[in-house]
């Protein structure tokens, strides 16, 4: 009996252990990185990804979301990420569910067009979405969305109903036509209460546009005057070279959101009903082709920049949508290489998924990059990338052989390339030596006016943003990367954020900046991109003594410790840090007193530990003769040796005429003159 009991105990223990192992394995698999099965390196020599792999990537996201769905009644509601994201009270839960539903539908809608009988986690996906759409209009349901009040303003409900309308517009056969007429009528009543109403003067106008357009196409009476008004106002936001202004910011929304909305609206509605307006959107779409690809790195990585960065892959959607056109001037193989590269950038990163859902952050969860308007399900806005699956299989976007485009044909090593965007005042810079891209753009928002607390922050206020070096948040003790911080009258470190663009001339990007809490603290700024980094020549025109720091880009601690090297080259102090992937060097040329290697914790999106190079000026004992601060901020890949002429490419630097002119002579014989 004892022997039998012992045997049974061992058997049960084994079952328990196996069950636990399977549970862990299941959890690990659900949160594991995306794997490219059977890569096709003949068609896609750099990423191995074809259209089928894009479908696999879409399913990877959907399967994670549907791991929370056991019955048709289960909402798309996901574990809240700690921090500022909503909901913080039960009143926001219906909107949270609405976001999860409508945003995962971006991924499901194109898939269901080809596979209407798709089943995930034993749930018929089309049945689930139609059932849940019915819940939105059922007053007895906890997912019910009340119509907009007569005098109600724009809200998150408008955003999500605009999203729902877009998915139904591209796939009415699965998402709309099977619905009973009474559901259709009630859905029209509630959605139009939002669409036929006020909006935010930004890309939000498209949410109204898609609601009004979809129901017009379905034969409902809509406010066509308002539809045309919002369309025309959206076109007025265009600033050339593919860029729209998002009132007042420029960021990825200014390119991918406006361009995607305009292109899909034209393709699925506008060409038939408003061909002249559709033609204008398509003309604006053409404008992005000569510059937007240059905003991505050689290996197809996107820059961490601007708000809603957790939407990640959404930024690539203009590239596959080029496939709707047969444009012989487009290098479709390059467009797909960028797009697939961005998908791999995130989907294959080990921190991308948690709880089977993408994190709010860049790679993993990163609170400084999260906005208060986001909930956990907000991340599925990234699913707009998969509207690219609507592009036919025989499109050149899918059939062209992958290539590195301009990085192989145009951008030569040993040089730096600038693309200035004109009216938008954006500068895109490409660095062939490390295959990185960079952007400088608008930032002029006061913290006191920034009620949502994102346009005045590191999401926008860095001096520049680089694909190789994701931005690091500022620390309370003066830790700063790629910006100045100044000790203010409250004895706190305050970052510059009130920039005014002046000009781009002879390869130099000029801005003025002032401190928000003390506008007498002012600088003239000049950025000079070089082949291996940046030369900053900045003039302090403040009328008082200040304590300040200037930071280089930051390096995360990865597989090995960050190594610091100090050396003297051509009479200048050089400090280098190396994390095994990249090296960063900083060389104070004029004005600075010291260089520091600053360690940071919890400020970097790639690692909990990071380091950044700062040049510093302690509180002045006297007014200095020179107010010019010149700094070399350089980089190389790890393992590459520095030549002396690379670390100190400057032969001489002379300021004249009350320091409104600074002449820089380089060792290669070239000259720059900074003209403040």
DSSP structure string for 344-383: HHHHTSTTSEETTEE-SBSSSB-GGG--TT--GGGGGGGG
Q: 3-state DSSP helix/strand/coil percent for the chain, to nearest 5? A: 35, 25, 40
pLDDT bin (cut points 50, 70, 90) of residue 185 is very high
- The model's pLDDT over 287-325, given as tens digits with 9 standing for 90+, comes to 999 999 999 999 999 999 999 999 999 999 999 999 999
Cβ burial, residue 568 (10 Å; 0-12/13-18/19+): exposed
Mean pLDDT of 263-280: 98
Q: What is the pLDDT of residues 503-524, one digit of tens each?
A: 999 999 999 999 999 999 999 9
Q: What is the mean pLDDT of residues 21-29?
A: 32
Do the beta carbons of residue 239 and residue 300 sit within 8 Å? no
CATH 2.70.98 is the classification of domain 411-675: yes
Please tell me the predicted confidence (pLDDT) of residue 659.
75
Q: Is the pLDDT of residue 8 over 70?
A: no
User: Given pLDDT bands bounded at 50, 70 and 90, which one contains residue 23?
Assistant: very low
pLDDT of residue 6 exceeding 50, the answer is: no
Q: What percent of the chain has pLDDT over 70?
A: 94
Q: If pLDDT is split at 50, 70 and 90, which confidence band does 655 have?
A: confident
Own/partner pairs, 32-41, CB within 8 angstroms, 24+ separation: 32/353, 33/347, 33/348, 33/349, 33/350, 33/352, 33/353, 34/60, 34/343, 34/344, 34/347, 34/348, 35/348, 36/344
In the prediction, which pLDDT does 619 show?
61
Closest listed residue to residue 292, CA positions, set 424, 103, 196, 159: 424
Q: Which whole number is the average pLDDT over 442-463?
A: 94
In contact, 363 and 313? CB cutoff 8 Å? no
Q: Give the closest residue to 509 by CA, choosing from 426, 604, 593.
A: 426
Average pLDDT over residues 351-364: 97
Using CA of residue 529, residue 532, residue 533, residue 539, what is the dihedral sign?
negative
Q: What tokens were used for 402?
A: 């992958």
* Residue 440 burial by Cβ neighbours in a 10 Å radius (0-12, 13-18, 19+): buried
Mean pLDDT of the chain: 93
Count Cβ atoms within 10 A of the Cβ of residue 79 and give its class: 0-12 exposed, 13-18 middle, 19 or more buried: exposed
CA distance 501 to 443: 9
pLDDT bucket at 205, cuts 50 / 70 / 90: very high
CA atoms within 13 A on the CB side of 496: 26
The whole-number pLDDT of residue 460 equals 97
49 close to 340: Cβ distance less than 8 angstroms: yes
- Show me where the domains of the chain are located: 411-675
Whole-number Å distance between alpha carbons of 149 and 421: 42
pLDDT at 544: 87
Does 476 have pLDDT greater than 70?
Answer: yes
486 bridge partner residues: 494, 548
The rounded percent of the chain whose pLDDT value lies above 90 is: 91
H or E element that contains 655: strand 650-656
Question: What is the band of 656 on the pLDDT scale with cuts at 50, 70, 90?
Answer: confident
Q: Are 430 and 411 in contact (CB under 8 A)?
A: yes
């Amino acid at each position: 009996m004892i022997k039998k009991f012992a045997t049974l105990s061992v058997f049960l223990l084994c079952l328990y252990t196996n069950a636990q192992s399977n549970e862990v394995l299941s959890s690990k698999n659900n949160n594991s990185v995306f794997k490219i099965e059977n890569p096709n390196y003949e068609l896609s020599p750099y990423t191995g990804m074809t259209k089928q792999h894009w479908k696999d990537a879409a399913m990877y996201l959907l399967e994670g979301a549907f791991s929370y769905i056991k019955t048709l009644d289960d909402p798309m509601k996901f574990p809240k990420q700690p921090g500022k994201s909503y909901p913080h009270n039960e009143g926001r839960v219906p909107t949270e569910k609405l976001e999860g539903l409508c945003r995962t539908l971006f991924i499901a809608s194109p898939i269901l067009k080809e596979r209407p009988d798709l089943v995930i986690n034993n749930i018929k996906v089309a049945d689930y979405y139609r059932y849940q759409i019915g819940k939105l209009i059922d007053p007895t349901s906890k997912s019910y969305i009340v119509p907009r009040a007569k005098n109600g303003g724009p809200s998150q409900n408008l955003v999500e109903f605009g999203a729902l309308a877009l998915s139904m517009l591209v796939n009415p056969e699965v998402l709309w036509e099977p619905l009973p007429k009474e559901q259709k009528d009630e859905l029209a009543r509630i959605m139009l209460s939002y669409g036929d109403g006020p909006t935010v003067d930004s890309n939000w106008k498209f949410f109204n546009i898609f609601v009004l357009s979809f129901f017009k196409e379905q034969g409902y009476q809509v406010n066509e005057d308002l539809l045309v008004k919002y369309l025309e106002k959206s076109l007025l936001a265009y600033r050339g070279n593919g860029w729209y202004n998002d009132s007042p910011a420029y960021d990825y929304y200014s390119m991918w959101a406006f361009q995607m909305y305009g292109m899909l609206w034209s393709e699925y509605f506008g060409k038939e009903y408003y061909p002249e307006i559709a033609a204008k959107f398509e003309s604006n779409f053409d404008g992005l082709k000569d510059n937007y690809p240059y905003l991505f790195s050689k290996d197809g990585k996107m820059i961490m920049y601007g708000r809603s960065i957790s939407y990640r892959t959404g930024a690539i959607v203009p590239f596959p949508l080029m496939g709707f056109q047969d444009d012989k001037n487009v290098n479709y193989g390059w467009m797909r290489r960028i797009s697939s590269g961005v998908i791999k950038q995130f989907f294959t990163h080990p921190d991308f998924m948690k709880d089977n859902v993408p994190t709010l952050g860049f790679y993993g969860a990163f609170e400084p990059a999260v906005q208060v308007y986001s909930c956990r399900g907000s991340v599925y806005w990234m699913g707009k990338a998969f509207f690219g699956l609507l592009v036919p299989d025989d499109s050149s976007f899918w059939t062209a052989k992958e290539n590195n485009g301009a990085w192989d044909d145009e951008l030569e090593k040993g040089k730096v390339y600038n693309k200035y965007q004109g009216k938008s005042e954006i500068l895109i810079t490409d660095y062939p030596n490390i295959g990185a891209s960079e952007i400088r753009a608008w930032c002029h928002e006061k913290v006191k006016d920034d009620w949502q607390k994102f346009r005045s922050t590191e999401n926008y206020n860095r001096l520049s943003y680089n694909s190789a070096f994701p931005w690091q948040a500022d620390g309370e003790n003066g830790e700063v990367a790629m910006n100045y911080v100044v000790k203010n009258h409250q004895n706190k470190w305050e970052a510059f954020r009130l920039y005014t663009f002046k000009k781009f001339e002879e390869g130099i990007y000029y801005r003025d900046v002032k401190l928000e809490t003390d506008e007498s603290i002012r600088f003239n700024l000049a950025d000079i991109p070089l082949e291996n980094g940046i030369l900053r020549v900045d003039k302090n025109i403040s009328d008082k003594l200040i304590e300040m720091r200037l930071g280089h880009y930051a390096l995360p601690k990865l597989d090995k410790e960050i190594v610091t090297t100090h050396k003297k080259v051509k009479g200048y102090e050089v400090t280098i840090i190396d994390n095994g992937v990249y090296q960063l060097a900083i060389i104070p040329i004029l004005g600075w007193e010291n260089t520091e290697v600053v360690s940071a914790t919890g400020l970097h999106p790639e690692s909990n530990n990071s380091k950044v190079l700062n040049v510093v000026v302690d509180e002045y004992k006297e007014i200095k003769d020179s107010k010019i601060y010149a700094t070399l901020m350089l980089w190389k890949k790890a393992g590459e040796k520095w030549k002396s002429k690379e670390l100190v490419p400057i032969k001489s630097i002379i300021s004249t005429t009350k320091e409104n002119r600074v002449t820089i002579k380089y060792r290669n014989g070239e000259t720059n003159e900074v003209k403040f």
